[in-house]
A = this chain, B = another copy of it.
Amino acid sequence: MSHGVRRASETAVSNDSALPDRSLRGFVGYNLKRAYNAVQADVSRTLVAFDLRIGTFSVLSVISDTPGLRQSDVAAILSVERSNLVLIVDELERRKLIARQQDPADRRAYVLSATDSGQELYRRAWAAVRRQDQNTMAAIAPAERANLLNALQMIETTLREDRDDQSK
């Protein structure tokens, strides 16, 4: 391949000072990015079989689990812009996986729910993603798995609170 590039294949964490990304490896952000890119590519490949992307899968998940939400609720839950949710909801509706219904109490709003075929597709896609997720987590010691999820959620919560404090 190319010269000068050595990889740590034996252990996940290497102190090899010759690694050209050694400065970046100390940052949690860099490791987060690389891990997420790998997982994202993996999950995306799985979802192709269901004609779903991570975005459409996530929205279908939220709507299936909690019928009656409005689009702005779903946007807030998934931390995506309302404007970016529109095309996703459009696509899911066009494929008859979800249904929009006018909220009788607020004529500006649509109430979302998954159709039978939407729930069925979601169940199958969820099972495939879960199988894959368990395979990914198999690389981590069982006692560490909950710690990992906890740490990721702590990072997210901390940064969101920091940002909200700053914008006050």
The residue that A29 contacts in the complex, of B77, B133, B138, B144, with Cβ under 8 A, is B133
The smallest C-beta distance from A65 to any residue of chain B, in angstroms, reads 5
A49 at the interface (CB under 8 A from B): no
Residues of B with C-beta under 8 A to A3: 73
The answer on a CB contact under 8 Å between A133 and B20 is: no
What is the oligomeric copy number? 2
Residues of B with C-beta under 8 A to A138: 158
The answer on a CB contact under 8 Å between B61 and A43 is: no
Query: Chain A contact residues: over half helix, strand or loop, or mixed?
Result: helix
Shortest 8 CB-CB contacts between residues of A and residues of B: A12-B153, A139-B158, A31-B152, A38-B159, A12-B154, A35-B152, A20-B66, A29-B39
The answer on a CB contact under 8 Å between A69 and B20 is: yes
The answer on a CB contact under 8 Å between B62 and A24 is: yes
With A and B bound together, what is the CA distance between A129 and B116 in angstroms?
Answer: 48
A40 at the interface (CB under 8 A from B): yes
A4 at the interface (CB under 8 A from B): yes
